[in-house]
Amino acid sequence: MLELLYEDLGASLADELTTKDLQEFYNRKIQTRSASTANRYLTLINTVYNRGIEWGDIKGSNPASGVRRKPESPSRLRYLSLQELETFLTVCQQPRFARLYPVVVCALFTGMRRGEIMALDWQNINLEHGTIYILHSKSGKPREIPIAAKLHEVLVSVGPKTAGPVFEIPDITCRRLFDLAKLQSKLPPFRFHDLRHTFASHFAMKTNDMLALQRILGHASPQMTQRYAHLSRGHLDAAIKQFDASMPELDIDSRPNPLEIRASVTINTI
């Protein structure tokens, strides 16, 4: 991204560029790229200016802050059904995927991002208390994730150690094995990040606890977690049925008919 920015804007000094210049740059990107990609470019420019002003290298205001962005299309929400999960996990249990399997299980039972999983160190896992500590997350805030019983068994099988990486597999190897396992499973296309969606979707459907889900996923705002709220409809239906069963029975047959009462009132009035 920096190389492309330099090709387009590199002839000007940072304090020479105006909001109009950056708006025109953004408009050019919109013509050839998606709104999401164009917004990522603008976010980078905005960050560069903010740091430059913070460090005293740029005087004045941030011209990127005045650029009008286009709204991004909602990102797709692909998650694996329980049947798809069983199929994919069966493939991952093959000897050739021995190093991939624990990584996949960790993603499915925690909703952690791939970068968080690959950077996970034994120092940040407390098997006795059943907790994973994420010290550096995308939101910049640390968080704690409870360890499910099934994940606990897998973590015990690959360790534990006092320190060092939990999953001793290079990122490139993880990617290749994951793509190979997907191909062998013959499932509809999905990405590693969709394992995070899978965790969140099934958690929402089974618990309807969106606040807990927000904390586990490390979302900065509840709005980000609400994308999974509609999946908990079945749970809400069960809850209203339970509520309905607890209420007094209504005697519908003996209740006066409003139409008959109205007709009677009308006749008497006449």
Write out the two tokens for 234: 């079945």
Judge whether residue 270 has pLDDT over 70. no
| pLDDT above 90 as % of the chain | 60
Domain limits for position 35 = 2-66
pLDDT at 261: 56
Say if 260 falls within a structural domain: no
- The answer on 29 and 147 residing in a single domain is no
Residue 76: inside a domain = no
127 and 183 share a domain? yes
Running DSSP on this structure, what letter comes out for residue 135?
Answer: S
pLDDT value of residue 117: 96
Spatial contact of 99 and 165, defined as CB atoms under 8 Å apart: no
pLDDT of residue 157: 93
Provide the pLDDT for residue 263: 56
Instruction: Dump pLDDT digits (tens) for 29-72.
Output: 998 888 888 999 999 999 999 999 999 999 889 999 999 998 87
- Distance between CA 226 and CA 223 in Å, rounded? 5
Phi, psi of 132, rounded to the nearest 5 degrees:
-110, 130
Domain count, the chain: 2
136 within some domain:
yes
Do 130 and 33 lie in one domain? The reply is no
Residues 159 and 226 in one domain: yes
242 within domain boundaries: no
Residues 105 and 199 in one domain: yes
Q: Give the model's pLDDT for residue 52.
A: 93
pLDDT digits (tens, 9 = 90+) for 209-261: 889 999 999 988 888 888 888 776 666 676 677 778 888 887 766 666 666 65
Is 19 in the same domain as 118? Answer: no
**250 is a domain residue:** no
pLDDT at 143 over 60: yes
Q: Are 105 and 178 in contact (CB under 8 A)?
A: no
Are both 92 and 153 inside the same structural domain?
Answer: yes
Please check whether residue 103 lies inside any domain of the structure: yes
**Does 46 share its domain with 156?**
no
Residues 142 and 19 in one domain: no
Per-residue pLDDT tens digits for 90-122: 999 999 999 999 999 999 999 999 999 999 999
Instruction: Report the CATH number that the domain containing residue 198 is assigned in CATH.
Output: 1.10.443.10
Close Cβ partners of 58 (under 8 Å, ≥ 6 residues apart):
14, 15, 49, 52
